[in-house]
Each structure stands twice: as C-alpha cells, then as structure tokens.
Amino acid sequence: MKAVVKAVPGPGAQLCEVEVPRPGPGEVLIKVTAASICGTDYHIYRWDPWSAGRVRVPLVLGHEFCGEVVELGPGVETVSVGDYVSAESHVVCGTCYQCRTGQSHVCQNTKILGVDRDGCFAEYVVIPAANAWRNSRTLPPEVASMQEPLGNAVHTALSFPVVGRVVAVVGCGPIGLCAVAIARAAGAARVLAAEVNPYRQDLALRMGAHRVIDPRREDLTEALREETEGLGVDVLMEMSGYPDAIRAGLRGTRSGGQVALLGLPSAPFEMDLSNEVVMRGLTVQGVTGRKMWETWYQMRALLDSGVLDVTPVITHRLPLEEFQLAMELMARGECGKVVLYPGGVPS
Amino acid sequence: MKAVVKAVPGPGAQLCEVEVPRPGPGEVLIKVTAASICGTDYHIYRWDPWSAGRVRVPLVLGHEFCGEVVELGPGVETVSVGDYVSAESHVVCGTCYQCRTGQSHVCQNTKILGVDRDGCFAEYVVIPAANAWRNSRTLPPEVASMQEPLGNAVHTALSFPVVGRVVAVVGCGPIGLCAVAIARAAGAARVLAAEVNPYRQDLALRMGAHRVIDPRREDLTEALREETEGLGVDVLMEMSGYPDAIRAGLRGTRSGGQVALLGLPSAPFEMDLSNEVVMRGLTVQGVTGRKMWETWYQMRALLDSGVLDVTPVITHRLPLEEFQLAMELMARGECGKVVLYPGGVPS
Amino acid sequence: MKAVVKAVPGPGAQLCEVEVPRPGPGEVLIKVTAASICGTDYHIYRWDPWSAGRVRVPLVLGHEFCGEVVELGPGVETVSVGDYVSAESHVVCGTCYQCRTGQSHVCQNTKILGVDRDGCFAEYVVIPAANAWRNSRTLPPEVASMQEPLGNAVHTALSFPVVGRVVAVVGCGPIGLCAVAIARAAGAARVLAAEVNPYRQDLALRMGAHRVIDPRREDLTEALREETEGLGVDVLMEMSGYPDAIRAGLRGTRSGGQVALLGLPSAPFEMDLSNEVVMRGLTVQGVTGRKMWETWYQMRALLDSGVLDVTPVITHRLPLEEFQLAMELMARGECGKVVLYPGGVPS
Amino acid sequence: MKAVVKAVPGPGAQLCEVEVPRPGPGEVLIKVTAASICGTDYHIYRWDPWSAGRVRVPLVLGHEFCGEVVELGPGVETVSVGDYVSAESHVVCGTCYQCRTGQSHVCQNTKILGVDRDGCFAEYVVIPAANAWRNSRTLPPEVASMQEPLGNAVHTALSFPVVGRVVAVVGCGPIGLCAVAIARAAGAARVLAAEVNPYRQDLALRMGAHRVIDPRREDLTEALREETEGLGVDVLMEMSGYPDAIRAGLRGTRSGGQVALLGLPSAPFEMDLSNEVVMRGLTVQGVTGRKMWETWYQMRALLDSGVLDVTPVITHRLPLEEFQLAMELMARGECGKVVLYPGGVPS
C-alpha cells in the first residue's frame, strides 16, 4: 500500500509502498477514507527537537483520519467490519490510576498514533478496537477525519461554562478556529479571537468571532479589557503556545475568571505568577487530548444536531500523493485544516 | 395614582386611586413604564388557599416591571434619579447565613413585592435601592419588565450544562418558553418541550423547541426515550408543577442525568423515589428565584448580545386599566407574557 | 463445595454441596475467605416481592466478600493467581453511554452478584476479572469483605463536601454507621445520627456520632434544627428508605443544603416537593453503587492510612454453616455487619 | 493611644502616641485585645519595593486582630457595642462585578487594613462595620486574632477535596502550618510538608504532617513521587512563593491533579508550562484572601467544633511595646505566629 513514511531520522518523509499491516489481538484494520494534518505531523516532518527525542523510525505519519473497518483482529467484539469509524489517537493503558478514574486523557502510559506507532497517512492503518469511534453515516469524511483536533477544541471550550460570557480564543490554528465556533454554539455573549496570520484572521471571522485582534498591531491585554469595560474576559482559551500571548491573555482575563490552556509553549518562559494568576484568583485548567469518551459524545451531538459546523475550517483537499504540498501549506500557515485522500479527492 | 389593589380578602381586585408611596431610607420611587403578569398574581387575584394564608390586604399587586427612578430615599448611593431599572422581586435580609454565603435566593427572611409589600401594578412603586437593577438603555421595556420570570428561566436552564445535550422542558408557560430559548441559545443538541395547551405548544415551537410533546396525547416518558434511542434525556427542566408530568419527566431522564425543578406542585403527591431518583443516580436541583446577582448579569449578557430573544413570549400588551382582561387571558392560558402599561400602550 | 443456595422460589435457603464453578473467558475463580451479609441478601432470603420479581433459582446468595484468586479464565491479564481481592458486585457492560462516560455505577445493563448470577456465600465464587479489586495485604479479611457496602457509604458521604459542616445521617444500618465514621474522618463539624433501633444507636455513638436522635421519641426535623440554631443541617445522608424519615430529614436540611439519597423506599409515598425541595433550593443526589473505580481508590486510601476505622461495625463472626442464625440476627436488627467464614471463624 | 506607626518612607517603624480614631458612617471603633503579625507587616516594616510602591505614610501597621466593639459610627446596625469581633482585612467595594457575584475576595477596589488605611497595631482601630466578624465568646483572643491568615489557609486547603487524598503543603509559614492541620482535619490520607527552616519543620510535624521534606536536602519532586508510588500527589498547596519550590511541586503533582497557589513569588520566573501544567492536565487555582463569608463560617465551624486546633502555630506572645523584637523573630523565621497585646500579655 501507499504510505507517507519517515524512514530515517531527519527532516522530510517519503511516499512509499509498504506492506498492509495486520491487526493483532484486539486490533482492527481500517481502510483510510480521509486523513488530516496536524501541527504535530509537521513538527515530525521537519524533525524538530521534540520529534528527534521521541520518534523512532521507520514510522508511518498521521493520526487524524476516518475510514472503514475491513478486518478484525482476534477477540474484537465492539466494532464490526463495515463500520465507519474515526480514531481516538491516544492509545491508553486502561489500568493506571488515571485510566481507572475517568482521566484516561492523562494516562501515564499513552502511546500516540503516528508518533509512537504507525499512523494513518496510508491506505490502511491498524488501531486498537478500543480506539475506534463509530461515526454517524451522514458525517462527511473530512469532518469525521478532523474529529481528533476538533475534540481538543471541544474539550478545551467546554472546560468552563461560556453561555452569556465573554470568551477570548488566543491562537486561531484549526483547533482555535473550532473553539471559536464551539464558543458561539454554546452561547458565548462575545467571542474575541487573537491571531497574527491574516489568512487565519479571516477564517476566525467566518467561524463566528465577533472581533479578531492582531497582537502584532494591538495590545492584546488592552483590547480584551476594552471589550469588557475594563473588566477582562470571563474565559480565556489559550491555543497559541506563545509566551507573549499567554501573558497578555492572562492579564486580559478578569479577576476570578477561568483559563483553559491547550497551546504548548516550546520552551520554558517567564511568568509573573503573582500578578497574572494568584492575586487575581484565576482558575487555570491544563487541557490535553479528549475525555474518553465524554468529549466524543459531545462532539457527535454537536455535529449531528447541526449546532456546530466546522466545514469552513477545512480549506484544502489533496490526494495523499501531494502530502509535500500539504506540508508547505502548513509551513506558510496559509491553511485551515488540510485533508488528504488516499483514494483520491472526491469530486 | 392608579393602582390595582386587592382591598378585601377574597377573589378579585380593583383599579383604585391611591397615594403615591414615598421612599424610606434606602428605598427608591420608580415610575412604572411596563409591568407584566405572573401566575402568582393570578393566584392572588383568584385568592387561592396559598394567597389566603399569606397575603395581607390592602395590597397593590404585581412584581414584574421596569421603570424610571424618580426619587431617592435617604442614604441611597447605588442608584440615581433617571436610571432605567427593573427589580429583583425578592427583598432579602442580607444578614442570614444564606445571604452571607452567596445563596440569597434562598434567604430565610425573603419578602416579595406584590405579595408581602405593595407591588408594581400602579403608576409608581417603592422598592429598596438594593433591588433595583440598571438596564441597558436599548432594552425594550416589555423585555425589561419580564426579566424577573426570565431570570427564573435563566437560573433553571443554566443549573446544568446543556451544550450538546438533549434537554426536556416540561411545562411551557412563559418561564418554560424562555427556558426553551435559553437551552437553544446555550447549544442544546435537541430541546423537547412538553405542554398541553395548544396556544403554548405553538409558542414553544416559535421559541425553538425541536419537538413539542402533548402529554395528554402521548406518553411523555416514552416520547423522551424515543427521542434518545431509549436512553432518556440528559437534562430535565421541570416548569409545570404537575405530578404526572414530574413523574413522567423523571422516568424519561437518563440514569445519571440532571433535573432542575422550578414548577411548584400545589399539594403533596406520590413519588416512586427509589425508581425515579435513587437507583438511577439522578441529580435534582430545586430552583427558586434568581441568583443575586449572577443570574442578572447572565441575563443582561444574553439579551444585550442578541444571543437570546424572548420577544415571541410577549403576546399581549394592554393598558393597566385592562388588567381584568389580562386576568381572563391568564385564566384561559391563551397567552404568553401579558404586559400592562400604566401610561398607556406605546404605539 | 459448600454453598448457601436458594433452590426454589419462596422463603428460605439451604446449605448445599454444589460443583465448584469454572471461570470462563475473562473470569477468575476465587476461594472465599470472608463474606458478609447485606440487607439485600436478607430480602432475597425472605423472598420479598422485589426478590420474587427479579431472582431466578437456583442461585448462590451473597455479594460481599474477599478471597484469594485461585484460577484464571482465558484471557485474564489484570489479576494473578494468589491475589488478595474483594469484588465490585456490579457487573457492568462497559459499552453503554454511562459506562463510557464515567458513570458505570448506573450502567444500563448491570448484573449483580448473588442476585442475577451466583454469589459468594460459598467456598468458591467466579467473577469477571474486571470486578476484582486487589486489596492491600494488611487489610483484615472482615474489612476487605465489607468494602462493597462501605463503598456505598463512601460514595454517599463524599457526594458533597462535609468538612466544617453539620451532617445528618438518617438510618444507621451498616452503611449508615460507616457514613457516620466517614463524615467524622472528613472533618464534619457535627454528625447527627437518626436511628430507632437501640442496638444501632449505640453503634452510631461508637462510630463517632455527636448525637443520636430516635425519631420515634423525638421530632427529627425539630432535633436537626435545634442543633443548628434553627437553620437546618448542611448535608443530609438518607440511608433509611423510610418515608417519614425522608420527609423529616428534608425539612431539617437548611435552605440551599445538599442531600444524598441512598436508602430505597419500598413503595411510592407522598412528598411535598414544593416545600421540601423546590422552594428551599435543595440539591438532591440519588446514589447507587460505587463509582468505578474512584470510590474504591478513596476507600483504599481511607482504610490504609488509618483515617477511617470501620471495625466497630463488624459485630458478628460466624462460620458459613450458621447463615440461618445470621439471617435471624438480621431479622431482629441486633447486629452491625455479620461476617461469614466458609473456612471457619479465625481464632 | 499607643500605635506602631510607619511615619516616614523607609525601613522601620515606631511606637507613638496618636489620637484615638473616630468611626465614620458605617464604621466601628474597636479596642484591640490581640493583634498578630503577618509577613506583609514585616515587608512594610522593612520597606521592600512592593511596600515602597504602595504604602502612603503615616500609617498604623497591622491587619490581624480581635477586640471589643466600643463605639458605633452613624448608621451601623449589624454590630453592637460589646461584640467580640475579628476583622476581614479586605475592605471591598460591594458594587463591582466580583462583589456582586460572590467573588468579593477579588474585588477590583480592595483596600487593605494596615496597608491602605490605618491598621491594628494600636490600642484602638476603626474598621467598616461590614468587616467585623462576631466571634464565639469561647474563642481565645490569640486564635481569634489569627483568623485572617487562618482564613487564607482554609480558603486554600478547601479549594479542592482532600479527604482520602495525598496532599503536599509547600512552605510552612503560619499559613502553611494551618493548611497542614486543616488537611489533616479534612481527612487527607497523607500530608507531606515541605519547608527549609528547621524551626518550622518541627512545627509542621506538630501540626500533623506525616512527613516533612527539606527541599535543600532532598529533591522535592522525587520525594513527592516516592510517597505516592511514583504517581505524584493529588493536591498541591503552594504557600512558599519560591520558584524552585513551585516548579518542583508542580512536577510532583500527579497528572490530572489539583493545585492551589497562595504563595506570592516576588518576581517573574521561568515556568515550563507545557510539561508542568498543560500536558499533565493540572487544575491550578489562584487563591487570595478569604471568601466572604463562606470561609469565615467554615473557620468558625472548624474551630468551635474542635475539629481544628491551631494553637501550636502560636509561638510567641508579646506586649505591643515589643513589636521590634517581634520583627526580629520574623526576620529570623524562628517563630510561628507572633501575637501582640496592646493591653499587656495575659498571664
């Protein structure tokens, strides 16, 4: 089969012919309909320090996808051949304290598809049956594929109540863009997006942001306060990982407000914890992954009911063969979500 | 001034000329722009057993209104002459345990406007300055007036998260109708309304209910389960106070689901607590009044942002003089919210 | 092996010789060290209407126990031969909405040991490996056995914060007695127990109740108010299932207070929902089973740390052969927890 | 009267004779029975950069005290002459968003006794009647005095459930010492204290810490993990404000754990937010002041019931005249809470 493979340590990846994998006990083989690209894929592609420290080659990249179950490994009972599924990308142990108490999104032994085991930028992928999520038949494949990052956004955006509140979404990559739409769907009184990239600023408006702030042109803290009669926003969703944005966002959140942090700073940085967090009584929630499976049920309900529409986030559809072009789009930031089709782009 | 007065114990009330009241220390005099009618007003009008046991005559009726502050009593600093205000109808003590710990909506010493002291079906009304809520200038008076019952709906509907969940609103009087709209605004995946009155069934659809169930024609429990693949709804908002509806609603709520009870049954009734609540692990929240002042801030944000539109609930506008007609409309249930104008209906 | 069997529908049970069961796939065989008796066992023994409607004979009774794993069925990986385990008695499906979102204690497809499948009043019992909980080696067998009901108490008592609050525990069977001790361990300012049986009144004091109220001799509501300067208790734990006690307890809870309901009324009864719950803004939580596995981890921590000591609840130790005597003790209520030993009472 | 006055900007303070202050409208005059010293007093005494930027001289120092109400200003109704009171040191506006929604501990307009207006290191002090808290007559004055910092500890320690959990208290000044005792009282399975000062290490053990870790001699993160089978503690209470301790504490908290931050770092410092907070899904709560008035009610219940005993924290009792000695004790850290008596130390 065709697969995008990182064959040697270092930048780049190639489209190769590899063996179709076989499902072991408790696993299923899935024919990939659509796969989408995450910033993490791009980091591995470029071979940044984090990737160099974690990834073992050879590796098939990719962890966002949907497809059809075509073969069951021994002992699989919860999924059937023919099921239309997406995947939770975190393969968790099921036995640690966190897994046994409803916090498997912070499982101590998480393995990630396309990072720690072969991923989905291929015609076929094998995943544990426990990671397969059955989609509604009516869900378009490109949306089904992007449920993994959408789930990050759902997890983040629903960490705190937003109905009737002023929300800031800092960083409008695909997850931030989804968070804008979720906050609107959930009844936020006002959604303020912060983003430096003009392409994504436009997308943020299309997703429903009431205002987009460019932190390179405006003081973010001041803009957030100006929108709230000096008070600061009720809820901050931090999706950028940029130190300046994090600090400015915290200072633009009202005393007693709530902060969900999803963005990952690439290195330690200085924080004024006393003035930015402690004395202002903020509640800060670190967010990673998706709650299993509450986030997935919430996402299904939002999508199937039509309450949430994330299709504007999907800006590019390419055949799998053009993954190099996709990586260039990622590099320039001139994209929302880029979807790859191993079987060719549907017309 | 003109005022609707219950002069003697027993059914009925009259439009009388009475003295304009004077604001005492900490009180304000308000010129009433619009006042709206609540089921409680109708109960007092009819002189039901509850009214007969609580109300002391003579009494000016009414507790939902908005108007303009025209005079300040001694010591008032938080409100100014000319302010456009609505009123929290619960006059609370401020010193009991509940008042001092953020639960003044269940103050042990609550007095209610139009029940325990003179109300607002009049040209002027005196209230404690602490009960005045400054409205945005752009808020239409009929909406400003109905914020008291809308606040009940906000308090109830936001008792539990509804985003991406299936919600049942049982009982579609004005408060239930508002709850339907709030649940939609807050991103409920599906809002199921239950109501027997055809007039209000139509209003429920206009407020955004996905489906209206008539418990006289359909089994309510079955209908709720049918809409949820047998699971039951996630959140029940009980606004009817009818024993059969309460029981059916509880049985139609999923195990582990959440129930907000606002409707007031008029008498004790049989409940199967084991099967309806305990063994199914329900969370049941009794709701009364409005959180001071969180509910009011939420309401302001929802209304001013345009996230919530409750104008379809307002079905009748009458001069104060026609309050008898208003009571007849209430008797027949052929109305949503009825608004009275002491100064005449604006054209 | 010896086993206490309900062989025919109707009152009673016999000690029989039956085949040692074999563990199927995913199951384990456990040699029972100690087993304890629950009110449910007694209901099945007496063959009350609930039992007659649910239980299919023949059935080995009993669902509280600990023992040693002696054989693994195919595919078991999470438990080893020689493990010292207790059992979660609820065999849940793992696939329903509740199981997949952290609410498996209200699984839609729960089967219960000793009710829906053979139980533990025997020398050996087979359970799903997923239901086995590994105990600390230092935990005494009689305490290990009673973790199932203790878990009910932990689940109930920790439903709401109790530190620095006044708590009422209504009904002092073994679960209520444990709840008294847990409330004390968790820092309740005052624990008020209500119980009619003098034997259990004494036990309640031994478990740490500050005061025991006999609802047959005192007005329970008045007593709860008297202890709280008229306010009512902060938290009510209802373990009795008696209608009068439930009503009195609710009325003795302060406005805005919290209620955990575990007791199961045997039939529907009249409640004054308006005055007992709605207008007073109570939060009522139905409690059933144990949170899997949060409750078990909490219980382990409380027991292993010595924060909680429930040994006074264990009043009788009998060989399995004397189960008829045990049932008589249950009938008279002159016991706390009665423990049976298939291998004889340890000296 | 005698008062400890900072008369000129710069280090030091003097005992002076000043006019007895008069209570204005809404204020009360209190004869000080006991006053205790906070780190903040010492910072102002030394005139650190924060003090130099905020404090205006002349100023009577001190904000922790208890005493007897001796005179009421105009309009005071909630307090009586003769009342035995302590004071909430935060004078809040009552009208900002936070004050009106139950978050007055983060009021936007807070003024602090002994910082922004004259304080209590004097024979008499004037405070707003709204800041007076009536004590039980049986509460010893030195405990009544220290309720202000004890309230910080109660607020912090009850930010998250601790019953049956492993808790780390980092930093054992008087507030941390109180937090140790509160965590024990609230049923923590294990309380691990971290402190570098040997005098305070001993106090931590006396307050109930199961183990005291000296971060100068042991790796704090490793010690916390070692105590939890590698998992990390469930709840971290950060009372030190030291960057190294904060980082080590965060890394020693389990994924999905909870962190209450009270300590105030004196300057910005580097944090590895990705690894310390975000990817591990921590919940971090900034804590300041005391919840008005929930914290005070909790504190009263804990003290009056005997559930909490903080008397070991009180290590020194001095006449007001010896405040210079008290400041020296603070400088050396060889003290818990130091109490000053304007009327002389009781025998």
Structure confidence at residue B52 (pLDDT): 96
The Cα A133–Cα A67 span in angstroms is 10
Please answer yes or no on whether B294 and D97 come within 8 Å at the CB atom: no
Starting from the edge strand earliest in sequence, which strands make up the sheet with B2-6, in order?
B14-17, B2-6, B59-60
pLDDT digits (tens, 9 = 90+) for C221-244: 999 999 999 999 999 999 999 999
* Residues with Cβ within 8 Å of residue C88, at least 6 apart in sequence: C131, C133, C148, C151, C290, C292, C293, C296
Look up the CATH number of the domain holding residue A251.
3.40.50.720
Q: Are residues B118 and B166 in the same domain?
A: no
Q: How confident is the model over C129-160, as pLDDT tens digits?
A: 999 999 999 999 999 999 999 999 999 999 99
Listed by number, the residues of chain B in 165-204 with a beta carbon closer than 8 Å to a beta carbon of chain A are 165-166, 185-190
Residues C12 and C142 in one domain: yes
Looking at the partner chain, which of A165, A299, A307 has a beta carbon nearest the beta carbon of B301?
A165
Q: Which domain holds residue D279?
A: 151-286
B99–C contact, CB cutoff 8 A: no
Per-residue pLDDT band at A163 (split at 50, 70, 90): very high
The question of whether A316 is a catalytic residue gets the answer no
- Same domain for A17 and A33, yes or no, is yes
Spatial separation of the C-alpha atoms in residues C13 and C18, rounded to whole Å: 14
In the set C33, C40, C110, C253, the catalytic residue is C40
pLDDT at site A184: 98
C-alpha span between B105 and B336 (Å, rounded): 25
Per the CB < 8 Å rule, is C164 touching D299? yes
Asked whether the predicted pLDDT for residue B69 surpasses 90, the reply is: yes
- Closest CB from B95, B97, B297 relative to D78: B95
Beta bridge partners of C191: C167
**Is B293 inside any structural domain?**
no
- The CA distance from B199 to B313, in Å, is 11
Q: Which helix (H) or strand (E) holds D331?
A: helix D323-332
Q: What is the pTM of this model?
A: 0.98
pLDDT at B191: 98
ipTM of the predicted structure? 0.97
pLDDT reported for residue D340: 98
Question: Where would I find the beta strands (DSSP E) of chain C?
Answer: 2-6, 14-17, 27-36, 59-60, 64-72, 84-87, 90-91, 111-112, 124-128, 132-134, 166-170, 190-194, 211-213, 233-238, 253-261, 269-271, 283-286, 314-319, 337-341
Instruction: Let me know if residue B11 belongs to a domain.
Output: yes
Q: Contact B186/A166, CB-based, under 8 Å?
A: no
- Kindly identify which residue of chain C lies nearest to residue B287, measuring between CA atoms: C281
For the cut 90, the answer to whether the pLDDT of residue B347 exceeds it is no
Q: A107-136 pLDDT, tens per residue?
A: 999 999 999 999 999 999 999 999 999 999
Q: Among B106, B271, B281, whose Cβ lies nearest the Cβ of C287?
A: B281
The answer to whether A297 faces chain D, any CB pair under 8 Å, is no
Contact of D293 with chain B, judged by CB distance below 8 Å, is answered with: yes
All chains having 3 or more CB pairs closer than 8 angstroms to chain D:
A, B, C
Work out the mean pLDDT of chain B and round it to a whole number.
97
Work out the pLDDT band at D210, boundaries 50, 70, 90.
Answer: very high
Determine contact: C39 vs chain B, CB below 8 A. no
Q: What is the pLDDT of residues A15-31, one digit of tens each?
A: 999 999 999 999 999 99
Alpha-carbon distance of C281 to B273, in angstroms, equals: 18
Q: Are D169 and D91 contacting, i.e. CB atoms less than 8 angstroms apart? A: no
Is C273:C246 a contact under the CB 8 Å cutoff? Answer: no
Whether the link from the prior residue into B293 is cis, omega within 30° of 0, is yes
pLDDT of residue C257: 98
Main-chain dihedrals φ then ψ at residue D102, nearest 5 degrees: 80, 15
In this structure, how many other beta carbons lie within 10 angstroms of the beta carbon of residue C19?
8
| Whether residues A132 and A262 fall in one domain | no
Task: Say if residue B268 is in the same domain as residue B228.
Answer: yes
Substitution target in A163, A228, A296, A307 with the highest count of B β-carbons within 10 Å is: A163
CB C287 within 8 A of CB C155: yes
What would the two tokens of residue A117 be?
A: 């085991």
Contact A100 C75 (CB under 8 A): no
Three-state DSSP string of chain B: CEEEEECCCCCCCEEEECCCCCCCCCEEEEEEEEEECCHHHHHHHHCCHHHHHHCCCCEECCCEEEEEEEEECCCCCCCCCCCEEEECCEECCCCCHHHHCCCHHHCCCCEEECCCECCCCECEEEEEHHHEEECCCCCCHHHHHCHHHHHHHHHHHCCCCCCCCEEEEECCCHHHHHHHHHHHHCCCCEEEEECCCHHHHHHHHHCCCCEEECCCCCCHHHHHHHCCCCCCEEEEEECCCCHHHHHHHHHCEEEEEEEEECCCCCCCEEECHHHHHHCCCCEEEECCCCCCCHHHHHHHHHHHCCCCCCHHHEEEEEEHHHHHHHHHHHHHCCCCEEEEECCCCCC
Closest residue on chain B to D100 (Cα): B293
Q: Are residues D235 and D198 in the same domain?
A: yes
Do D210 and D124 fall within a single domain?
Answer: no
CA atoms lying within 13 Å on the CB side of residue A29 = 13
Residue A319: its pLDDT value, please?
A: 98
Q: Give yes or no: residues A169 and A142 share one domain.
A: no
Please identify which of the residues B33, B40, B110, B253 carries the catalytic annotation. B40
Q: Which of A79, A93, A101 to mutate to test the interface with C (most CBs of C within 10 A)?
A: A101
So what's the pLDDT on residue C347?
A: 85
How many structural domains compose chain A? 2
Long-range contacts of residues C93-102, Cβ cutoff 8 Å, at least 24 apart: C94/C130, C95/A78, C97/A297, C97/B231, C97/B254, C98/B254, C98/B255, C98/B256, C100/A292, C100/A293, C100/A297, C101/A293, C101/A294, C101/A297, C102/A102, C102/A294, C102/C291
Q: Max alpha carbon distance in chain D (Å)?
A: 61
**B18 and B130 inside one domain:** yes
**Is B288 an active-site residue?**
no
Query: Whole-angstrom Cα distance, residue B106 to residue C255?
Result: 6
Q: Is residue A216 part of a domain?
A: yes
Is the same domain home to C113 and C51? yes
- B300 is a domain residue: no
**Nearest residue, CB atoms, C101 vs list A78, A100, A297:** A297
Query: Residue D347's pLDDT band (boundaries 50, 70, 90)?
Result: confident
Mutant choice from C150, C156, C162, C163 vs D, greatest count of D C-beta within 10 A = C163
Helices C323-332 and C39-46: crossing angle, nearest 10°? 100
Check CB contact under 8 Å for C78 and A95: yes
Of B205, B194, B130, residue with least CA distance to B168: B194
* pLDDT at residue A133 in the model: 98
Residue A161 at interface with chain D, using a CB cutoff of 8 Å: no
Interchain contact, C231 vs B97, CB within 8 Å: yes
In a domain, B346, yes or no: no
| Tens digit of each residue's pLDDT (9 = 90 or more) over D39-92 | 999 999 999 999 999 999 999 999 999 999 999 999 999 999 999 999 999 999
Q: How many CB pairs under 8 A join B and D?
A: 20
Nearest to C164 among D166, D190, D298 (CB): D298
Mean pLDDT calculated for residue range B98-126:
98
**Beta strands at B64-72 and B27-36: parallel, antiparallel or unpaired:** antiparallel
C274 DSSP 8-state letter: I
pLDDT classification of B296: cutoffs 50, 70, 90: very high
Regions of chain C where pLDDT drops below 70: none
Size of interface C-D (CB pairs under 8 A): 66
Separation of CA D92 from chain center: 17
Q: In this structure, is residue A303 part of a structural domain? A: no
Mean pLDDT value of segment B232-259: 98
- Per DSSP, A341 falls in state E
Residues A288-343 pLDDT 10s: 999 999 999 999 999 999 999 999 999 999 999 999 999 999 999 999 999 999 99
CATH number at residue C104: 3.90.180.10
* Same domain membership, residue D215 and residue D156: yes
Domain-ending residue, one of B254, B271, B286: B286
Residues B76, B24: Cα–Cα separation, whole Å = 10
Residue D204's pLDDT band (boundaries 50, 70, 90)? very high
Instruction: Report residue A75 CA to chain centroid gap.
Output: 31
Residue among B158, B161, B305 minimizing CB distance to A189: B305
Instruction: Give the span between the Cα atoms of B154 and B299, in whole angstroms.
Output: 7
- Is residue C325, in this structure, part of any structural domain at all? yes
Distance (Å, whole) CA C298 – CA C291: 10
Q: How many CB atoms lie within 10 A of CB B138?
A: 8
Q: Do A101 and C75 touch (CB under 8 A)?
A: no
* CA-based nearest residue to D306, from D183, D170, D164, D139: D139
- pLDDT band of A347, cuts 50, 70, 90: confident
Amino acid at B114: G
* Rounded-to-integer distance, Cα D292 and Cα D277, Å: 29
Quick: pLDDT tens for B248-279.
Answer: 999 999 999 999 999 999 999 999 999 999 99
The verdict on residue C303 lying in a domain is no
Please check whether residues D324 and D228 belong to one and the same domain. no
